[in-house]
Structure 1
Amino acid sequence: MDQVAAMILAAGKGTRMKSAVSKMLHPLLGLPMLSYPLRALRKLEIGRQVVVIGSSGQEVIDGFSDWSGVSFAWQREQKGTADAAAMALTELEDFSGIILIVCGDVPLLRAETLHELLLRHKQTQAVVSVLSAVLPDGGSYGRLVLDSAGELIRIVEARDASPVELEVCRINSGIYCVEADFLRQALAEIGCDNAQGEYYLTDMVAEASQSGRKVVFLDVADPDEIMGINDREQLSNAEMLLAVRIRRQWQSAGVTIRFPEQVTIETDVSIGMDTTIEKGVSLKGKTVIGAGCYIGEGAILQDVYLGDRVRVLPYSVLEHAVVEADAQVGPFAHLRPGSLLREKAKIGNFVEVKKAEIGIGSKASHLSYIGDATVGNGVNIGAGTITCNYDGFKKHRTIIEDGVFVGSDSQFVAPVRIGKNALVGAGSTVTKNVPENAVVTSRSRQTIYPGRGMAARTAAGKD
């Protein structure tokens, strides 16, 4: 939208959060609070977005420095929302069109709602359009004051409202569409004669009405969208509402979520059709799950890619890993960053994999550690196998080629290579390269002492 720019008011101190971290950076389902209104604006293809920042502004700049089309304006002193808008205008001096003003602490606001507000603003040829909501109790929100014809004539802040005005149920969200030229004129006229001694942006409504300009309002269908976040309880409430929205989105897309209130799906997660998610699952970051997958109870996936028909069994933890189609992980398995499981590979219970590639159809079913390794296709790794990758100073790789059979309780002291189709005897400690199709054992020779077992010891103890 070339003729629309946006201001995001994010300069508040957020003192009720009781945090050393900027309120705008507190996360909801994996993303900082400010990213939600910015994403809504991005969906509308609004190219110029000015974020007004205050005392923790540098943190915000650092957190969003890679966002294209976003600039920052400082509000050094907290003089009110009109002053914040004036600071934003310094970044829009050459702009003439519609300015969409939103708050930085409304993470539930939908792009569709902003689009509806913009359409109403254009269709009515208004100079100011206000996004409003009807609530049973307006609380600390400003109230919309209408004339006898139902036209909006002003907004009164709760602290300045009379008892009669406080009974009004239609409240101001703090979200507006304003013609840029009118906004510049109105800001020059706004004073600070009010209960807080601040410059209220809401006063532009009375300025427009009194000069005979068109002012309209739009009631939001879901008042939760305009919920502002001022403390930790409100943050938690908003996150729960957002979580419900995300779960319903994926259920509508063909994903089965059992006991959904016990499942966490973060904002940037993607899930394929016919996937089933059991209770207690957490899907985090930019996790991508293919079609027809199964995610077992209590599993945690962080920035993971799963191909189609992957099975992740209960209580497995996967981080920054790739699992190709038809593979299986778990139960109680751990894929650490850099893990790659090829098609039909299997990592079983109490197996940990780190910076390792497991080839097509290869298996490590029980109680093993595979780190800094390349495992070929069709390899069987027995229970209790360890790649000894760290010598106390550096990490080294183990390479196990196609078709190798590794007996239980084997150790590979890296760097070491095991050739194709080799057989590693159970209990071996392998310190040197093994050629193709060879058998390697390194355990000590078994010695048997007949007649000296437990029965003999018991008898000896009675003498």
Structure 2
Amino acid sequence: MATPLHIVVLAAGQGSRMKSSLPKVIHALAGRSLLNHVLTTARGLQPDGLHVVIGHGADQVREQTPGSDIQWVIQREQLGTGHAVAQALPGIPETARVLVLYGDVPLTSPETLSRLAAVIARDCLGLLTVNLSDPAGYGRILRDSRGDVTGIVEQKDATPEQLQISEVNTGLLGAPAEKLKRWLPALSSNNAQAEYYLTDVIALARTEGLGIQVSQPDEPEEVQGVNNRAQLAQLERWFQHQQALMLMAGGASLADPARIDIRGRVETGHDVVIDVNAVMEGEVVLGDRVHIGPGVVLRDCRVGSDVRVDAYSLIEGARVDQGAVIGPFARLRPDALVGRNARVGNFVEIKKSSIGAESKVNHLSYVGDTTMGEAVNIGAGTITCNYDGTSKHHTTLGHGVFIGSNTSLVAPVTLGARSVTGAGSTINRNVADRELAVARSRQRNIPDWVAETDDDQDSKKKGED
């Protein structure tokens, strides 16, 4: 039977260098909080316990971090990483392996964490280190003449010789719970920061003859922490670059890989083309040969093959079927369905409606709570009046309906197949198949309605001359 694995995530710090009223760990990277990234990866290891140590802004962190599997632990005084882990130990059995992560180190890969967790044993600690060209700010890894790890020295406590070491501590480590429960109460705060360092357990383990297995991440950015907004921006760009590489590997062409933002999961077919400044959030699925124009925002949507989404359109919670054309400047709201080869043009908003195959809503229109048949034509300036101030009402348009420009369809209303409305009509009664509905007052032209001006008089005299 495998030894239980418990994960402790340290998320109690204030993050004063962020200059923010928000706790550092709930600042967003790629649309999700730093802590959310860490917890998502941690859950991939299927731990037997997930403990999050919080302090500053504890209520905010809890409110913005869903998960019934989380055991919240309060660190009332921030006295260092060793003290923080000690607060979680009462909820962890002595027989468990403990993996310590940090809520402000968001992009460690599942593979890196799996390798680290695998080496934790009753007689062995796991330590994640990384070699940096500029190790400033990090604790240095101390090794003996045989290359074995003997300890970690924090930068503020390091000698000039130790500061030359390029191998540094990432903060991520694993140890048997029974050892931590004995070691952590024995830690000393006699150091430059007057804190209880978790890293001091490395020297204690060495003293007791325990093995210390070191592993390293595939990329140094995986273990980069966020201490200020500049570091957050750097990690955001690295993460987005990785997303762009994955999209291109999957068959998508990007006009500029540096100008795309993925804030969720994107699945693409072959020969997809994505122009600059596209933003994709949530779950987005793009079929083969989809063309995404500049500035498009896609959020929790499915886009079928051969669809073109033109510039600055927003598609949210909607589905677009094969061959349709959307935009530019179109908005598809949740529960919109655009059928095969349909067209939704500029400054058109579709909400909770199905647009039938081959139908066209080309200009300046609002369609809400509507079922539309095939080959329907909606003239410019048409709106469905679906809300009476209390309730929403439905509009039904049969196949081949032609709606004249500037028509108001007052729901609930049904227009039969191939019916027509005259431009400028307000339709509040059902229209049968093939009927013409005209609902507007008769035009009257009243002469001399506008008084003559002096210029009119002068023009009239010149004409008489």
1:396 aligns to what? 393
Whether the aligned pair in 2 keeps the contact of 1:304 and 1:318 (CA below 8 Å) is yes
The more displaced of 385-394 and 346-355 is: 385-394
Shift of 1:379: 1.2
Name which of 330, 333, 336 aligns with 1:333: 330
Shift of 1:121: 4.3
1:48 aligns to what? 49
Shift of 1:12: 0.8
CA shift digits 1:408-447 (9 cap, x unpaired): 2222223322122211123322122212221112244467
2:406 aligns to what? 409
Name which of 188, 191, 210 aligns with 1:191: 188
Shift of 1:235: 0.8
Report the CA distance shift for 1:81/1:351 in structure 2 as closer, same or farther (over 3 A). same
The more displaced of 235-244 and 422-431 is: 422-431
The answer as to 2:220 corresponding to 1:223 is yes
Name which of 220, 228, 246 aligns with 1:249: 246
Task: Give distance in 2, aligned partners of 1:229 and 1:267.
Answer: 20
Name which of 192, 202, 214 aligns with 1:205: 202
1:73 aligns to what? 73
Report the residue type matching 1:115 in the other structure: S
Task: Give distance in 2, aligned partners of 1:212 and 1:220.
Answer: 26
Query: Equivalent residue of 1:383, what SS?
Result: coil
1:111 aligns to what? 110
CA shift digits 1:45-90 (9 cap, x unpaired): 224211111121222222223x253221111110111111111112
1:97 aligns to what? 96
Report the residue type matching 2:365 in the other structure: S
CA shift digits 1:96-150 (9 cap, x unpaired): 132111111111211111122233446xx75222101111221111111111111
CA shift digits 1:288-331 (9 cap, x unpaired): 32333211122112222223332211221222222233322112
Task: Give distance in 2, aligned partners of 1:121 and 1:154.
Answer: 17
Shift of 1:157: 0.9
- Listed as ranges, the matches of 1:62-461 within 5 Å are 62-65=63-66, 67-92=67-92, 94-121=93-120, 127-391=124-388, 394-445=391-442, 460=460
Percent of counterpart pairs with the same letter? 39
Query: Equivalent residue of 1:153, what SS?
Result: strand
1:453 aligns to what? none
Report the residue type matching 1:82 in the other structure: G
Shift of 1:270: 3.1
The more displaced of 226-235 and 394-403 is: 394-403
Shift of 1:350: 2.1
Query: Equivalent residue of 1:140, what SS?
Result: coil
Report the CA distance shift for 1:79/1:311 in structure 2 as closer, same or farther (over 3 A). same
2:451 aligns to what? none
Task: Give distance in 1, aligned partners of 2:136 and 2:259.
Answer: 32
2:452 aligns to what? none
The more displaced of 337-346 and 33-42 is: 337-346
CA shift digits 1:218-249 (9 cap, x unpaired): 23332111110011111111111111011111
Task: Give distance in 2, aligned partners of 1:223 and 1:165.
Answer: 21
1:23 aligns to what? 24
| Corresponding residue pairs, total | 455
What RMSD, in angstroms, separates the aligned Cα atoms of the two structures? 2.4
Report the residue type matching 1:84 in the other structure: A
Which ranges in structure 1 are unaligned for 5 or more consecutive residues?
451-455
Whether the aligned pair in 2 keeps the contact of 1:107 and 1:238 (CA below 8 Å) is no
The more displaced of 237-246 and 247-256 is: 247-256
Whether the aligned pair in 1 keeps the contact of 2:94 and 2:176 (CA below 8 Å) is no
Report the residue type matching 2:113 in the other structure: L
Task: Give distance in 2, aligned partners of 1:340 and 1:227.
Answer: 42
